[in-house]
Amino acid sequence: MTEKPCIICVAITGSVPMKADNPAVPTTVEEQIESTHEAFEAGAAICHAHVRNDDETPSSDPEKFARLKEGLEKHCPGMIIQFSTGGRSGAGKERGGHLPLRPDMASLSVGSNNFPTRVYENPPDLVEWLASEMLTYDVKPEIEAFDLSHIHHAALMHRQGKLADYPYVQFVMGVKNAMPVDRPTFDFYIETMKRLLPNSEWCAAGIGKDQITVNEWTVPAGGHARCGLEDNIRLDKNTLAPSNAALVKRVVEICDKHERPVATWQQARDILGLKQPA
């Protein structure tokens, strides 16, 4: 049993799943706000968001991110807003074009790796630029660790003053051609966090059918949990998830099973060192 509240992050949209895969994937800003609101009521404290064009392809349009932020602030007051700076949301510096909007957080990949059909390129100069923009605009990065070396690199950037206290690190497992969902590796990630970033919190995302597996490992291990339709569109092999909220509810049930409280947005802000809204 862990007393520390568990922060649930809902990754509502992403850049891959289409409505043809699961009609519940929210792709317009209006749908995103509605889907996030339902997930927020179910217990999510962080919304990780990408935006889409009208044809559902990924967009890097800061105006769209601004409309989403405004809607979330209105309908999910207090919820932590995290924008993606991932590689499908534009090229090069376009990926950080929304940082001047000052979302609470933004994802930050600090190294490259393979994705299902391509290289996920995060060259050193772009990583450094995104990190410096996040310092400038007071945006807390969530380091996406697709590989063990990414935890080491985050610790190095922290020592160099390029990441503010205390870096928040997410283990990402289950992306084809990157790190699989592997328990000994997961445990070693935790051990590495304790050794290199002892004051930091960590979370974990399982991609695809193993989302629930990683959620089940994370809650009793004291980490924070990510779910949502970006990563996984199914409840089980034969059933599409009807909403983002349905995936959040599964994590809430795991927390209940382990007698771990679910973090309110206020608690989540305290745990992550984010300011409370005025």
Query: Is 228 in contact with 39 (CB distance < 8 Å)?
Result: yes
CA distance 98 to 14: 16
Query: Is 43 in contact with 262 (CB distance < 8 Å)?
Result: yes
Q: 9 - beta bridge partners?
A: 46, 226
Residue 60 in the binding site for Zn ion (CB under 5 A):
no
Pair of tokens at residue 99? 């940082």
The window from 83-91, 120-128, 170-178, 266-274 that contacts Zn ion (CB under 5 A) reads 83-91
Pair of tokens at residue 204? 């974990």
Q: Which is nearer to Zn ion, 110 or 260 (CB)?
A: 110
CA distance 218 to 186: 9
Q: Which is nearer to Zn ion, 84 or 122 (CB)?
A: 84
Q: Which is nearer to Zn ion, 5 or 225 (CB)?
A: 225
Residue 89 in the binding site for Zn ion (CB under 5 A):
no
Return the ∠ at Cα 176 (arms to 59 and 228), rounded to 5°.
55
Q: Which is nearer to Zn ion, 5 or 229 (CB)?
A: 229
CA distance 184 to 254: 21
Structure-token match 């007071």, residue found:
138
Residue 215 in the binding site for Zn ion (CB under 5 A):
no
Residue 211 in the binding site for Zn ion (CB under 5 A):
no
Q: Which of 36, 84, 170, 200 binds Zn ion (CB under 5 A)?
A: 84
Residue 112 in the binding site for Zn ion (CB under 5 A):
no
Q: Which is nearer to Zn ion, 5 or 206 (CB)?
A: 206
- Cβ 115 to Zn ion, closest distance in Å? 12
- Cβ 245 to Zn ion, closest distance in Å? 18
Interface residue list for Zn ion (CB under 5 A): 84
